[in-house]
């Protein structure tokens, strides 16, 4: 029989609703699991034990009273520490922000609580989330449970490692350049970056009004070990909220499309190198999707390298204006990584920024036309395996290599498209998992997750795992 911490979020919710397990039992099981494995991984950075126990007792009272229950009633969840939780600091992983206590939950936390879920713990991230490796000046280094010498990726690396090792069944992260999907791939779990506007994004630290690049490309989303839990998490989180003026309410599922659905497979993305093991894994995922009834063609969307370049220009151009304010907040390794990435780049003036919007529209138009024929794009998440700790900030070459390897995640952020990550295999030599992306037409998260579930059914990994020795 499985331990409680090994069950999916939906399985746990069913046990609570069926009065077979109490919510308090779930909380205690996960607290014990955190005690057992977090010292090896450093994925969880704040445990809300007493608050969670009190919420669980209340949840159990509601079950006993026959109250109407939410879809995650009594189930624990974890929260990346750049997402507001009332009464706690939103540190963004920075020592300088360790006392930045907020008064109100972010909308995504509000909605998880409204669905009955219980906030259990906060998880680690790199300083300000500006790195693909989770090392925080406040909380330290997070390790990958599959291989302790390798990165858990980032910036939601604490969530990825916590979920993969059974410290939580479902969690919250965010993504401006793969930060939901990078750790999902590295840690062998599932996630989705929703379409722009699908899930409300609200932040109060360091300021209530985000930079333009965040308004256009940053998305909040769920992470879990199973695609079904990711789907449920998204359905809970989505919808307009008055605190995010750009958020919208739309049905989860779109109109049925003609079968067989066509998928464009990009096994070897332009713009850099790829590990042959990863390319082979993408092709195995393509074969799995063919077996599930999809038509899979090896073809690349138009202007792929232009999409990569424009994403970089938006990120670098917008952040360049405030770099002098960011460096003092960040730790040494995070600031060093940023300097390696930014200092060689030219300054961006108003004319250059205006031209970027024209280029973004051109790429979006070409992809929109392409996706009439191919509503889904299958690709790697990273083109190389997760690197050893510190590689990305050790040198300018390491920083460049880290940016190159995560290039497949970028188009979805630039274009506001939904993009799901699902495990599709492991590397035999290192034991590291390999995740693939399924990126879809705008607001067709339903298509992304349906295809991800087909891959999961044929190639998925058995998680949670005990951390490697």
Ramachandran category for residue 416: left, alpha or beta (phi over 0 → left; psi -120 to 50 → alpha): left
CA–CA distance, 72 with 118 (Å, rounded to integer)? 9
CB-based contacts of 324, cutoff 8 Å, min separation 6: none
Joined tokens for residue 219: 């998305």
Q: How many CB atoms lie within 10 A of CB 251?
A: 9
Spot the catalytic one: 8, 22, 23, 155. 155
CA–CA distance, 55 with 49 (Å, rounded to integer)? 10
Strand duo 419-426 + 433-440: pairing: antiparallel
Between the CA of residue 255 and those of 192, 251, 281, 375, 447, what are the distances in Å?
20, 10, 31, 12, 10
Joined tokens for residue 348: 């961006």
Joined tokens for residue 184: 């999902």
Between the CA of residue 45 and those of 236, 327, 330, 344, 468, what are the distances in Å?
25, 23, 17, 34, 20
> Are residues 218 and 196 in contact, defined by beta-carbon separation less than 8 angstroms?
no
CA–CA distance, 105 with 203 (Å, rounded to integer)? 10
> Are residues 303 and 362 in contact, defined by beta-carbon separation less than 8 angstroms?
yes
Q: Within its chain, how far is the Cα of 130 from the centroid? A: 14
Asked if 80 is an active-site residue, the reply is: yes
CA–CA distance, 234 with 367 (Å, rounded to integer)? 24
Q: Within its chain, how far is the Cα of 333 from the centroid? A: 22
Asked if 179 is an active-site residue, the reply is: yes
Angle between helices 9-17 and 49-64 (to 10 degrees): 50
CB-based contacts of 220, cutoff 8 Å, min separation 6: 83, 106, 108, 172, 173, 174, 194, 199, 200, 201, 237
What end-to-end distance do the CA atoms of the chain give, in Å?
24
Spot the catalytic one: 23, 165, 179, 191. 179
Spot the catalytic one: 80, 193, 284, 441. 80
Asked if 165 is an active-site residue, the reply is: no
Nearest to 117 by CA among 252, 233, 249: 233
Which burial class, exposed, middle or buried, applies to 361 when counting CB atoms under 10 A from its CB (0-12, 13-18, 19+)? exposed
CA–CA distance, 318 with 338 (Å, rounded to integer)? 13
Joined tokens for residue 243: 């605190």
**DSSP-based three-state secondary structure for 460:** coil
The set of catalytic residues is 80, 155, 179
């Amino acid at each position: 029989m499985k331990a409680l911490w090994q069950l999916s979020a939906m399985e746990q919710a069913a046990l609570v609703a069926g009065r077979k397990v109490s919510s308090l039992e779930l909380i205690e099981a996960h607290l014990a699991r955190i005690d057992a494995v977090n010292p090896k991984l450093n994925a969880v950075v704040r445990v809300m034990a007493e608050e969670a126990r009190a919420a669980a007792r209340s949840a159990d009272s509601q079950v006993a009273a026959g109250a109407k229950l939410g879809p995650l009633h009594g189930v624990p969840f974890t929260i990346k520490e750049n997402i507001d939780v009332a009464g706690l600091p939103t540190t963004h992983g920075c020592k300088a922000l360790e006392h930045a206590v907020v008064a109100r939950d972010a909308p995504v936390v509000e909605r998880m609580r409204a669905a009955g879920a219980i906030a259990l713990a906060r998880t680690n991230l790199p300083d300000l989330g500006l790195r693909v490796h989770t090392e925080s000046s406040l909380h330290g280094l997070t390790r990958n449970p599959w291989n302790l010498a390798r990165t858990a990726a980032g910036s939601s690396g604490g969530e990825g490692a916590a979920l993969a090792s059974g410290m939580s069944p479902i969690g919250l992260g965010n993504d401006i350049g793969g930060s939901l999907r990078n750790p999902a791939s590295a840690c062998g779990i599932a996630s989705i970056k929703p379409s722009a506007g699908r899930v409300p994004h609200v932040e109060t630290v360091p300021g209530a009004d985000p930079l333009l690049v965040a308004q256009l490309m940053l998305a909040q989303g769920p992470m879990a070990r199973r695609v079904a839990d990711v789907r449920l998490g998204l359905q809970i989180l989505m919808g307009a909220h008055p605190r995010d003026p750009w958020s919208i309410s739309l049905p989860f599922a779109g109109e049925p499309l003609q079968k067989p659905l066509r998928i464009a497979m990009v096994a070897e993305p332009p713009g850099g190198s790829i590990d042959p093991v990863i390319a082979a894994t993408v092709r195995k995922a393509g074969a799995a999707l063919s077996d599930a009834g999809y038509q899979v063609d090896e073809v690349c969307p138009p202007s792929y390298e232009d999409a990569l370049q424009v994403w970089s220009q938006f990120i670098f151009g917008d952040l360049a204006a405030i770099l002098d304010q960011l460096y003092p907040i960040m730790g040494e390794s995070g600031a060093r990584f940023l300097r390696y990435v930014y200092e060689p780049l030219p300054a961006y003036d108003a004319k250059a920024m205006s031209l970027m919007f024209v280029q973004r529209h051109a790429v979006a138009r070409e992809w929109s036309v392409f996706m009439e024929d191919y509503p889904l794009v299958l690709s790697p998440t990273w083109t190389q395996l997760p690197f050893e700790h510190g590689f990305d900030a050790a040198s300018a070459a390491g920083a460049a290599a880290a940016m190159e390897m995560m290039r497949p995640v970028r188009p979805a952020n630039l274009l506001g498209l939904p993009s799901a990550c699902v495990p599709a295999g492991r590397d035999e030599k290192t034991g590291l998992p390999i995740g693939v992306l399924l990126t879809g037409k705008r607001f067709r998260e339903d298509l992304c997750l349906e295809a991800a579930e087909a891959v999961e059914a044929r190639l998925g990994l058995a998680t949670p795992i005990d951390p490697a020795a």
